[in-house]
Structure 1
Amino acid sequence: MTSSSPLYSTPNPSSPSELYCPLLQTMISNNLTNKDKGVNLAVVSIHGVVSALGILENGLVLWVLGFRLRRKTVAAVWVLNLALSDFLTTLTLPLFTHYLSMNHSWELGGPLCAAQASIFYLNMFVSAFLLAVISVDRCLLVAKPVWTQNYRNVSAAWKICGLGWAWAAVNAFPYFMFRSVVEKRDRRKLCYHNFALYSSSDTLHTDCKVRQAATAVSKVLLAFVVPLVIIAVSYTIIVLNLRARRKRLESRRLGASNGKLKSSKSFCSLSSLGKQNTTRLSQSFMKMVVSVIATFILCWVPYHIFCLLEVTAQYKLVEVFLPIVTTFTFLNPVLNPIIYTFSCPNFSTRIRQSLEALFEGLVEEAGPLVRVTERIRKNSLFPTSPSSPSVSRIQRGSQGSINQSQRGGKER
């Protein structure tokens, strides 16, 4: 029995009654493949190296942060969850490498096809979520230090990560439901979205369009555009706050020049030190921002572009280039450990000590920004509000010292 619309029927002899959407039907009919064995061998070899490297890197990060780190911090929770997501993805890389080695034919069965796709999309959503959360966390540390001191803790970080995993699982569920293995005309097997599943011939045309467009647009918006906007806004706020602090330092330094000479020299030296540290901090932050955002964009922009091309019915372009751009996305979990590790202060010194010390430096809460801020506060370059708890404690301590001195004078 065939469909009333030939456009949505399949010529596959193994399942003549099954219906397919236009994209999948075109991919089944086409026999496009690279006949150059040398190129194919090089691609498979690169994927094999990337697979091994990604598994070792992320496994090492998980081992150090999960079992060797003496003190868990909020930053450690972020990196640990990001490494877990990347580790799961790199575990599926050998499956994709096997697919390439079999001349672009999926010979591993339907369950592994659905599992590989589900983990891939789970990582896509979780990574975007965690990068956005890390950016907001860094932003709050700079813009709202008092608020973060009161509400930022490891327990809250784990709850946010749990919410992110649940949110990613909900978004990845449709890809698990519609993933299947179909046989092409040339007997090769294709692991791809089959949006005609759970549909009938009467509603197939609408179902194919709606499901394909909904999944493509949701991927682009929820796993790329929205997180990228959050990242950009967060680091813009960080840069603006750092610039504002430098301006306040300069104005206070100029104002102090009218005071006493001794006080002025001391204040200017402290101000110069604070300005130097803040400038160095701003530069290191900008390097990390550029690295994270550039990697995020380079790895995922090509993939999302071709996902949108699927909706516009550019079938041949999608079939030829989608495996290539998917390879770029697999580089993201491999590069993430390198980026975050080299963002550690004094990397060259710490790596000579031990891996444990290295990752402690990576996720320590008293990082350069906190140390510079505390140093500036102690030197009264950024006086806090009289109503703040720290000022109240200082005032109470000072008053207690004065009272104690007065009592000592009376006793004498």
Structure 2
Amino acid sequence: MVVSPYNQTVNNRTSPNETELSSLNFFTISLHGLFSSIGIIENLLIIGVVGFHVRRSVISIWILNLAASDLLATSSLPFFTLYMARGNTWTLGATFCRIHSSIFFLNMFVSGFLLAAISTDRCLVVLRPVWAQNHRNTQIVGRICGVIWALAAICTIPFYMFRDTIHLSNGKILCYYKYDRFLPQGSYDQEALRKHRKEALAFMKLFLAFLIPLLIIILSYAAVNSSLARRGCRRSFRFVRLVVAVVVSFVLCWAPYHIFIIIEVMSPSGHPAQALASKALPVSATIGFLNSVLNPILYVFSCPDLCNKIRHSLGAVMESVLAEDLAELARRRSTARSSISTTEVVMKQRNSIATPCLKTEQEQNASE
């Protein structure tokens, strides 16, 4: 038994219907295509508007980095959709296999770290408003985002190192882990080492990309809610709705993936639980990508000020485009009118020259 890109167990034997897409695969491919299209358009819109038409602020930097990570993830979806559409066969080479898989895990870490950082930032604004006013600026937030990307890249290195293409006897090529790569020299239990590596990567993802960020998000918003309650401030319905939406979407999108990963890793080989987890992992990984589609909705469109800026910026862009079109149309009309006027002047000049010549010719004929 071998495993596919997102830990889906695949039998090495050729089944009678291996060339036909199962209903589950068709459903997963459809979800990939839908999430990819929506996510790319959505995050490109945010990057284009917030990056070029909105004044730099702390929240805009958070949003830009989150949108960049989500755009990177959703842009990689079409390649995995191609893999699934070709019957779970990877045809893009070993190097791109490592790069493509690393993008998935990089987005997983960056999203978790950024969501935790955004929650902590909002918590500090409420709990330490004076400190936030003096120290919270775009330069510091930009550096924090750089550190987040660097830490996420470091966490992604093991997943890049142990990723490779696997050629099966039935002609299929998988993009999956090879835990026997970079084995140390000496006598040891290779099977135990591979198992330890597999478990270490699974629990690393679980804690660093899910449990710890989720704990920080919950504690931050709980602290904000407690502080507002002590001050006697009324929590707005929009704030409560945003907090609930952030926590629920993060849990619903990523919890299934990590749960099935742990089940698949910890279950004995051939156990029914492992088979169930292997079948569910491709769908759960696709649902994890849904978080990249929901993040812009939660963090951008839930902010009225930023929404107004986006609408105004889009309006300004459209007005600029229309103004350019109208100016081009006016220029063309002006050129056409100028051409017509020039033609009329030339015709009049020709007529004025032709008239004396005609009179002179008539006088000559009369004298003869």
TM-score bin, normalised by smaller chain: 0.7 to 0.9
TM-score w.r.t. structure 2 length?
0.76
Is the CA contact (8 Å cut-off) linking 1:29 and 1:184 kept in structure 2?
Answer: yes
**In the aligned structure 2, how far is the partner of 1:68 from the partner of 1:346?**
14
From 328, 333, 345, the counterpart of 2:304 = 345
* % identical aligned pairs: 43
Structure 1 residues 111 and 85: CA distance shift in structure 2, 3 A: same
SS in 2 for 1:192: strand
What residue in structure 2 maps to residue 386 of structure 1?
none
What residue in structure 2 maps to residue 6 of structure 1?
none
What residue in structure 2 maps to residue 96 of structure 1?
80
1:300 maps onto 2:286 in alignment: no
Is the CA contact (8 Å cut-off) linking 1:28 and 1:184 kept in structure 2?
Answer: no
Farther off after superposition, 154-163 or 198-207: 198-207
What residue in structure 2 maps to residue 145 of structure 1?
129
SS in 1 for 2:175: strand
Is the CA contact (8 Å cut-off) linking 1:180 and 1:194 kept in structure 2?
Answer: yes
Is the CA contact (8 Å cut-off) linking 1:28 and 1:185 kept in structure 2?
Answer: no
Q: Deviations over 1:206-251 (max 9, x none)?
A: 32121111111111111111111111110001111111121xxxxx
What residue in structure 2 maps to residue 156 of structure 1?
140
1:27 shift after superposition: 3.9
Is the CA contact (8 Å cut-off) linking 2:72 and 2:103 kept in structure 1?
Answer: yes
In structure 1, stretches of 5+ residues that fail to align are 1-9, 13-19, 247-277, 358-412
What residue in structure 1 maps to residue 277 of structure 2?
318
Structure 1 residues 233 and 30: CA distance shift in structure 2, 3 A: farther
Letter in 2 for 1:245: R
Structure 1 residues 40 and 208: CA distance shift in structure 2, 3 A: closer
1:330 shift after superposition: 1.1
Structure 1 residues 25 and 206: CA distance shift in structure 2, 3 A: farther
Alignment of 1:318-337 (within 5 A): 318-337=277-296
Structure 1 residues 39 and 131: CA distance shift in structure 2, 3 A: closer
Alignment of 1:6-405 (within 5 A): 27=10, 29=12, 35=20, 40-69=25-54, 71-199=55-183, 202-246=188-232, 278-279=233-234, 281-313=235-267, 314-345=273-304, 353-355=312-314
**In the aligned structure 1, how far is the partner of 2:253 from the partner of 2:22?**
26
Letter in 2 for 1:198: F
SS in 1 for 2:236: helix
Structure 1 residues 219 and 349: CA distance shift in structure 2, 3 A: closer
> Matched residue pairs, number?
305
1:119 shift after superposition: 0.8
Structure 1 residues 38 and 209: CA distance shift in structure 2, 3 A: closer
**In the aligned structure 2, how far is the partner of 1:122 from the partner of 1:170?**
9
Farther off after superposition, 221-230 or 101-110: 101-110
Letter in 1 for 2:30: S
1:95 shift after superposition: 0.6
**In the aligned structure 2, how far is the partner of 1:306 from the partner of 1:337?**
26
Structure 1 residues 156 and 195: CA distance shift in structure 2, 3 A: same
1:48 shift after superposition: 1.6
Structure 1 residues 60 and 351: CA distance shift in structure 2, 3 A: closer
**In the aligned structure 2, how far is the partner of 1:34 from the partner of 1:317?**
22
What residue in structure 2 maps to residue 381 of structure 1?
none
**In the aligned structure 2, how far is the partner of 1:24 from the partner of 1:55?**
25
1:345 shift after superposition: 2.3
SS in 1 for 2:174: strand
Is the CA contact (8 Å cut-off) linking 1:28 and 1:183 kept in structure 2?
Answer: no
1:342 shift after superposition: 2.7
Letter in 2 for 1:290: V
Letter in 1 for 2:56: K
Structure 1 residues 149 and 349: CA distance shift in structure 2, 3 A: closer
Is the CA contact (8 Å cut-off) linking 2:39 and 2:293 kept in structure 1?
Answer: yes
**In the aligned structure 1, how far is the partner of 2:315 from the partner of 2:73?**
24
Letter in 2 for 1:179: R
**In the aligned structure 2, how far is the partner of 1:93 from the partner of 1:190?**
16
Structure 1 residues 80 and 245: CA distance shift in structure 2, 3 A: same
**In the aligned structure 2, how far is the partner of 1:68 from the partner of 1:24?**
42
1:130 shift after superposition: 0.6
1:318 shift after superposition: 3.4
Q: Deviations over 1:31-68 (max 9, x none)?
A: 67695556644542332222111111111111112112
Is the CA contact (8 Å cut-off) linking 2:180 and 2:190 kept in structure 1?
Answer: yes
1:284 shift after superposition: 1.5
In structure 2, stretches of 5+ residues that fail to align are 268-272, 317-368
1:174 shift after superposition: 0.3
**In the aligned structure 2, how far is the partner of 1:235 from the partner of 1:189?**
46
RMSD: 2.8
Structure 1 residues 292 and 232: CA distance shift in structure 2, 3 A: same
SS in 2 for 1:75: helix
**In the aligned structure 1, how far is the partner of 2:178 from the partner of 2:252?**
28
Structure 1 residues 26 and 245: CA distance shift in structure 2, 3 A: closer
Structure 1 residues 184 and 29: CA distance shift in structure 2, 3 A: same
Higher gyration radius (CA): 2
SS in 2 for 1:221: helix
1:355 shift after superposition: 3.8
SS in 2 for 1:191: strand
Q: Deviations over 1:82-106 (max 9, x none)?
A: 1111111111010111011112222
